[in-house]
Chain A
Amino acid sequence: QKEVEQNSGPLSVPEGAIASLNCTYSDRGSQSFFWYRQYSGKSPELIMFIYSNGDKEDGRFTAQLNKASQYVSLLIRDSQPSDSATYLCAVKEYGNKLVFGAGTILRVKS
């Protein structure tokens, strides 16, 4: 069974620090990777996607992909209390379905 693994956390960081969220996946053929943020009681909202090895930056967020190591990460710079949420890593499988990890809870303390 193809899997996506995330540390459940909670990951606690002080306001202004860098939060680093990690994800590994089992399907070596996966090509598309997504990070979603989910606030308690709400639905997932897309933060960013990445397809190519290396880094992709969008504002305070940087996604990193290493296909050889089957590893995806999300860095959040200058973390704010409003960033406190569950972060879901998702990998797109053949047939267009998303396989999600269980999510990492991030807590940013002011």
Chain B
Amino acid sequence: ETGVTQSPTHLIKTRGQQVTLRCSSQSGHNTVSWYQQALGQGPQFIFQYYREEENGRGNFPPRFSGLQFPNYSSELNVNALELDDSALYLCASSLEFTSGTGETQYFGPGTRLLVL
């Protein structure tokens, strides 16, 4: 069984640039959720994708957008980067909308983004 993978592991951008982060879900999982974790804080929900459609969004501006592909992998895009976007971006995969306890979310290693 393949776990959740993310790329790249680290990224440095300058203010105003755009960034794309990638996530491959754990095999058998159909849902990907993205979280932002600032230093010293718990992860904050950005949005979730199920069957290639956004299925819930947290309190993040529209410049945060995403995609899910038929193989359930996902991208997070952030436009017009701001200094406060510097954080660890986490992808979590799960098997949602099934019976039982398949709704547990498993996290990838994260992408650490630094905006200068």
Binding site for B on A (CB under 8 A): 4, 32, 34, 36, 42-46, 49, 51, 88, 90, 92, 95-103
Contacts and interface: CB of A to CB of B under 8 A. Distances in A.
Interface residues of B, number: 27
Interface of B: 31, 33, 35, 40-45, 48, 55-56, 58, 88, 90, 92, 94, 96, 101, 103-110
Contact of A95 (B41, B44, B55): B55
B79 to A, nearest CB: 22
A92 B33 CA distance: 12
Query: What is the predominant secondary structure among interface residues of chain A facing chain B?
Result: strand
Contacts, number: 60
A89 B104 CA distance: 13
A106 B61 CA distance: 34
A46 B92 CA distance: 11
